Amino acid sequence: MSDEAITPFQISIPDADLADLKERLQRTRLPDQLPDTGWGYGTDTAWLKTLLTYWRDELDWREQEAQLNRFDQFVTHIDGVDLHFIHQRSPHPDAMPLLLTHGWPGSIVEFRHLIDALTHPEQHGGSAADAFHVIAPSLPGFAFSGKPTQPGYNPERMAHMLAALMQRLGYERYGAQGGDWGGIINRILAARYPQRLIGLHSNFVLASAPRDPDILAATPAADTERREARQAYMANEVAYQQIQGTKPQTLGVGLNDSPAGLAAWIGEKFHGWSDLEGDDPDSKFSRDDLLTNISVYWFTQSITSSARIYYENRAVPLTEPLGFVSVPTAGAIFPKEIYLTPRLWAEQSYNIVRWTDMPSGGHFAAMEEPQLLLADIRAFFAEVD
């Protein structure tokens, strides 16, 4: 394959890997748990046991694989890494190219309930004017993309890789949408390539506190209180950042070897960062969706290489300050997002033209509240097109 070749790709997990997973799940050795502690000490063992039993006995991986393979997928080589991506073109030739960028512990699986509605809007409550050509890459080190073999693949480097991908596909101007690391990477993309982006839509808007005391004083008290409440909640939720940002290799030994450990590690995030009914992840996520995402990490053995983004983000500084993002920007603000930024603060760092306070939802917006996210994407890009 030449350096710029684009090769068709389909997911095809060997039967031997499926058998190996089932065998490992059959030999799971779960820890004890203190009575009546639920999720207080970490992943609830009773919930996990039910999830693992479903994974072993009921999840039809071949069906999930077939659903993902409905989408047109490709691989191309960029900056030393094979980059996997979905490239689902709309039948409407004037559709806007839209880059969808996932985060951790997410994957392209997050977008599978959005892609059809984005590419075929007339079949999903929209019109031809709402059509997008969807480009959804697996980030370097994640899922079906290659694993970097050298240090340095921080979010800035990944942003340059995504810009190169879009250029290789022939898209001179396009929109970008993302959350978690996807929101961070797309912000850098917008800062470095403002002439290429039609608009930036983010469900993870981060900005530092403004230095101007007048702006701080003008910040609505309700916005400050919401931000502080989420910060207080997250104070007990950031241990993963510390270990993935300092010792991802050590963590990876356990998670790459144990499907139960992997499910507990990822499942805890879907519990802690989501807008659930009661305390039950099953109230918001189907087991098929949750386990398909976890299975992608398992079969591709990418939990360690994906976790390194936290290390690289700490270890490799930006080549230059981000500066103000002049690209028209929309914030879709879900109430249980892990960090909330007041709009007034965001306006000091982005050209905010749309700001939507969502009625429900959390960190995994594309999986939790796909209809809310879809409606906001359509409305924003109709405004800036």
Residues annotated as part of the active site: 180, 310, 363
Distance CA 336, CA 340 (A): 9
Phi-psi region of 199 (alpha: psi -120 to 50; beta: other; left: phi over 0): beta
Distance CA 349, CA 338 (A): 19
Distance CA 282, CA 385 (A): 38
Strands 81-88 and 197-202, sheet pairing? unpaired
- Owner of token pair 């099953």: 282
Distance CA 255, CA 265 (A): 8
Phi-psi region of 241 (alpha: psi -120 to 50; beta: other; left: phi over 0): alpha
DSSP codes of every residue in 332-382: EE-TB-SS---HHHHTTTEEEEEEEE-SS-BS-HHHH-HHHHHHHHHHHHH
**Tokens in use for 87?**
């490239």
**Tokens in use for 236?**
């007990």
Distance CA 360, CA 350 (A): 24
Is residue 379 packed enough to be buried (19+ CB in 10 Å), middle (13-18) or exposed (0-12)? Answer: middle
Is residue 39 packed enough to be buried (19+ CB in 10 Å), middle (13-18) or exposed (0-12)? Answer: middle
Q: What are phi and psi of 160, to 5 degrees?
A: -65, -35
Q: Are 108 and 178 in contact (CB under 8 A)?
A: no
